[in-house]
Structure 1
C-alpha cells in the first residue's frame, strides 16, 4: 500500500525540521532557508518546498519573526534585567543575539537601541568612547590552521582558561576551564579530542612560544607526516615569536568584554565574603568540584552563541562562523581539512598523554567520590548562577564537620611533567610577509600560500586568493 500524502509530508517534516532549526539559529531569511533546503536537504525530483509552506512549517515549530513577536522596550524589560546580571557590557548587537539564542525573542534593533537610551544611557556613552585597534590576519581557507592560547586572568581563583580558534571562519573550537591551563598533556588532549570528534585535522597549529605547547607541536607534526610523508623534516606548528597570536587575543578580548565581568563579580563576591581562599586546600578542592563543571556549561553556551552570531569584524567572507566552517563552498572558499582515522589519533594519544596523570582529575578521585556522596545526601541540587555559592558553602560545611575526609592533595601540586623536547631534525615552516604589511602564517604551499602548488582542479571549485582578515575589535587601551 502506498503511503498517504500526509504520511509522506510528516516524514519529510521530521527530516528537514532540524535543518530549519539550525538555519533559524543562524538568522537566515526565509528565502535563504528555502534555497539551502532545496539545494542540500530535499530531493527536488520528488519533493518541493516554497516560501509559503516554509513559513507555515516554521510558525508551526514556534519560530516567529521580529514583526510577529512585536516586542517593545517594556516587553523585553524582565529578560534584559536577567541577562544584564551575566552580560554587563554587551552592546546592541550582542544583546539582540543573546535575546534570540537564550530567550527565543526576536527583537528589532530599534527596540534595543531605545531600551538602552531609556534605561542605560551611561553605558551607551561608555561604549561610544571605546578606542579600537585594528589587527590583520591572513588565512587561505577553512582548516588552514588552528590557533591555541591560554588565559591567566582567573588564576587568582585557581582557574585557568584555554582556547582553540579556526581563524578563517572565526569559529571557536573550544574554551575550556580547568584548575590548570599550562600542562602540556592537558592542552594536547583538548586538540586531540576536537579533531577526533571532527574526523579530520587541519594543516598546522599555531601558538605562542612555550614548552607547554611542545606536545601539541609534536603531535601535529607526527600526524601530518603520517598522512603526507613529503612533510618530513618540517615542523607543522607555528611559533608566534615576533608575531602576534591574533585570533586568540581577539577571542579573549571579546570574552572579557561580553562574558567575564559578571562572572568575575560573582567569583569576587565569594572571595570578599571570606567563603573561599585559593590557598586553603579543602576550599580549593570543593570550589573546583562545584564551579568548574558549572562554568564550563556557561562557556559552552557562550561558544554556541558565538558560532551562530554574525561576526562584527570587517572580514571576508562575511557570514556566520558555523555556516562558513560547515559549508565553505557556499562562500567561494577552500577547505584544507585532512581526513584522519581513529588509529592515528590513538597512537599519538598513547605516545604523548598519560591518561592516569593527576591533571585530568578535577579533584583527587577518593576525595571526588566523597564529595559526590555528600552532594547526593544534599539532594543533588542543580547548580545555577543564583545558588552556586550556596551549594559550595553547604558542601564545604559538611566536609569540615566530617571525620573521614580523604587526603586533599592539589592536582597542580602533583609532580610536574618533564619538559618534552621538540622532534629532532624538524625545521620551522617559512612564512610569507609583505614589506610593512600583513603576513601569511598558514600551512598551504609549505607555508608560502596558495600560489605554491594548489589549483582549482584539486578542490573542484574556483580558487580563492589568500584571504585577508582585517579584524577590528574593542580593546582596552
Structure 2
C-alpha cells in the first residue's frame, strides 16, 4: 500500500526556511575567497582543513564552505592535488636541477615545500627520496647522520621574548646579516642583509619594521651584549615605558652572552647548512677570478647596488618558506608544534596566548624619527650621487634581471659603463666614494639610569625581575632534589590509588598539580 505523502510542516518559530539546497552561500567576495584558498593550499592543507581555516576569515553565520566546494574552486584555480599532477622523475628533474644550484644540501621534506609554494607542484616525499637515493646517495647518508645538540628554552607565549643576533660570515664580500626570532612559535621576525650590522640605527629600523607588521612590541627583547643592539633596546624600552609607566625604572631588554642566546644561534646554524652554501658558491667566483676588490670604493658600491637587493629577495623567500612550514615533530618538545605563521595568527588552536603589546602608529613614527631616521646615510643602499649614475648605467644595459647565475656578468658590464662616465672622474665623486662607509658604525648610548632585568638566582626581594624563565639551568639543577622528592611522593599516592581505589582521587590531583608547579 502506497504511503500518503506528508505535507511540509511549517518551520519552527524564530527560524527562517532556507531556499535551494539548504546550505549557506560561499564566502564573498570571490577574490578574497580565492586568496585564502591559495594561501592554505600552499601551506599543504587538504580540502577539509582549507575549508575550516578559510571560514575563520568570514562571517560563519552568513557564509558556509565545504570541502567539496574547495575542491571545485581548486580545479578552477589550477591548484591540483598530488595524484592529479602525477609527478614523476622526468617532470621533477628540471626543478631538482635548478634548486640544487641554490640549495645543494636541501633534503626531501624541504624540497616538497619549495616545489609546492614556489612552483605550485605537489610531489610525494617518497618520490623525492627515491630520486635522491638514486642520484646522490652520499648526500642522503650525510643528512641522516646529523645530530641536533639539544638545549632547553622556556617561553610563556607568542611575543613573550623577541631574540636577535647578527651574522658576519660574509663580511669578506662587504655584506652582513641580522636576524630577529620569536622562539615560542619558532618564527623568523626579520632576516635582513645590508652592508653593515654594526650601526644601532640599522638594527633599530629592522626592529621597528617588524613590530609595525605585528602592530605591537614583545614583552621583552633579548640579544648579545653588543652596542649594535642598543637601537632595538632603546626602542623597546621607550615604547614600554610610554605605554606602562610602572616599568619606568627598568630596561625592557635582556643581555645574553653567546652561549645563552641559543635560539637565533640555532637558526644561524640551520642556515649555514641549508641556505648559505649555494650563495657562497656563487659569490666565491670573484675570489677565483679576481673580479671584485672590496678595498676599491667604486667596486664596493657597485656590488652593494647589485648584490644586496638580490640577496634580500632570497632572504625573504627563505623567511616566508621557514615561517609557513612546520618543523619535524618532536615528542620531547613542550613548545607548540606546527606552522609558525599559523601559531601566531590563531594561538587559540594551540592553547597559547599572544602577549603582543599593541602600539599606536604615531608612537612607531616617533621612535623611528628618533632612533632610525630614514634620511640617515646608514639606511641608504648607496649614496644618492652614486645611485643616480648606477641607475643610468643599468638602464643603458637594458635593465637586465639580476640573478645569482648572471650577477658577475652584469657587474662587469656595469663597472665598465661607470668607468666610462665623465661624472665618475670628478673630484666631487671621488669624495662621495671615500665617504661611502661613513654610516658603517655609530655610537649610541643606552637610556641611562635604568635597572637591568634580573632572573633566576639573581632575583632579589623588591628588585626588578622578569618571570619568563629563560635558561634557568642553574636554578633548575639546584632544585632537582625537590623534584625527585615530589615525584617519589606522587608515585606513593598513585600506588595507594591502585591499592585502595578512587577514594584518594582528590589527593592525587593535588599532588600532581604540586609536581607540575615544582617542575616548571
Contact kept, 8 Å, 1:199 with 1:340, in 2: the verdict is yes
Among 62, 66, 79, the residue aligned to 2:95: 79
Among 447, 450, 455, the residue aligned to 1:423: 447
Output aligned runs, 1:409-448, within 5 Å. 409=433, 413-414=437-438, 419-432=443-456, 446-448=465-467
Q: Which residue of 2 aligns with 1:386?
A: 405
Q: Which residue of 2 aligns with 1:237?
A: 253
Q: Distance in 2 between matches of 1:343 and 1:277?
A: 44
SS in 2 for 1:421: coil
Q: Which residue of 1 aligns with 2:422?
A: 403
Q: How many residues of Structure 1 are paired with residues of Structure 2 in the alignment?
A: 439
Contact kept, 8 Å, 1:358 with 1:411, in 2: the verdict is no
Q: Distance in 2 between matches of 1:252 and 1:242?
A: 13
Structure 2: give runs of 5+ residues left out of the alignment: 1-19, 470-515
Q: Distance in 1 between matches of 2:282 and 2:271?
A: 16
Q: String of CA shifts for 1:75-119, please: whole Å, max 9, x gaps.
A: 211110111010000112111111111221111111011001101
Aligned-residue offset at 1:61: 1.4
Contact kept, 8 Å, 2:200 with 2:442, in 1: the verdict is no
SS in 2 for 1:319: coil
Q: String of CA shifts for 1:327-385, please: whole Å, max 9, x gaps.
A: 11111111101111122122222222343332112121101101111111111111123
More helix by share: 2
Among 10, 25, 28, the residue aligned to 2:45: 28
Among 46, 61, 78, the residue aligned to 2:62: 46
SS in 1 for 2:387: helix
More strand by share: 1
SS in 2 for 1:76: helix
Q: Which residue of 2 aligns with 1:282?
A: 298
Among 316, 324, 327, the residue aligned to 2:343: 324
Contact kept, 8 Å, 1:160 with 1:178, in 2: the verdict is yes
SS in 2 for 1:351: helix
Contact kept, 8 Å, 1:187 with 1:213, in 2: the verdict is yes
Q: Distance in 1 between matches of 2:112 and 2:276?
A: 19
Contact kept, 8 Å, 1:359 with 1:412, in 2: the verdict is no
Q: Distance in 1 between matches of 2:235 and 2:315?
A: 27
Structure 1: give runs of 5+ residues left out of the alignment: 434-438, 451-464, 469-477
* Structure with bigger RCO (C-alpha 8 Å, 6+ apart): 1
Normalised TM-score (structure 2) = 0.80
Aligned-residue offset at 1:325: 1.1
Question: Which of the two has higher C-alpha Rg?
Answer: 2
SS in 2 for 1:176: strand
Q: Distance in 1 between matches of 2:443 and 2:166?
A: 18
Q: String of CA shifts for 1:305-333, please: whole Å, max 9, x gaps.
A: 11111112634311001101111111111
More deviation, 358-367/129-138: 129-138
Q: String of CA shifts for 1:143-162, please: whole Å, max 9, x gaps.
A: 11111111000000000001
Normalised TM-score (structure 1) = 0.86
